[in-house]
Amino acid sequence: MAVFMQDREFQSLRNRFKQDAELLLHGNPVDTITENSSEDKEKEKPLPRVNLHSVFWILASIGLTYYIDFFTVIKEDVQIKSFNIALWPVWSFFTPVILFTQFMGVVMVISLLG
């Protein structure tokens, strides 16, 4: 009896996947398209460009750049000859954190523009 129930469940699962595959290959019937499109229009809301995540990374990047005098150090420090590797003698283990924060700030500013 248990084997028969498993076979029946397996068969119904297989049929359901077959129907889904046929719908994907041949397209949705007209009735479901009109129902789904009206429901989608009601449910769809445009995502806001400015969200808390973006504001956090932008402000963190600006604050960090100001706090550590990033551009002044880049221009005036004698230890810096190239960029990424030379920042290590100046800020040591904070270098990856600083660069990552500035990178995220730039990415979020670009996402606000586009």
The pLDDT of residue 36 is 59
Q: 100, 64 in Cβ contact below 8 A? A: no
* CA nearest to 68, candidates 37, 88, 48, 90: 90
Whether this model's pTM surpasses 0.75: no
Q: How many CA atoms lie within 13 A of 103 on its CB side?
A: 7
Q: 112, 55 in Cβ contact below 8 A? A: no
pLDDT digits (tens, 9 = 90+) for 66-98: 999 999 988 888 888 777 668 888 888 999 999
pLDDT digits (tens, 9 = 90+) for 41-62: 667 777 777 889 999 999 999 9
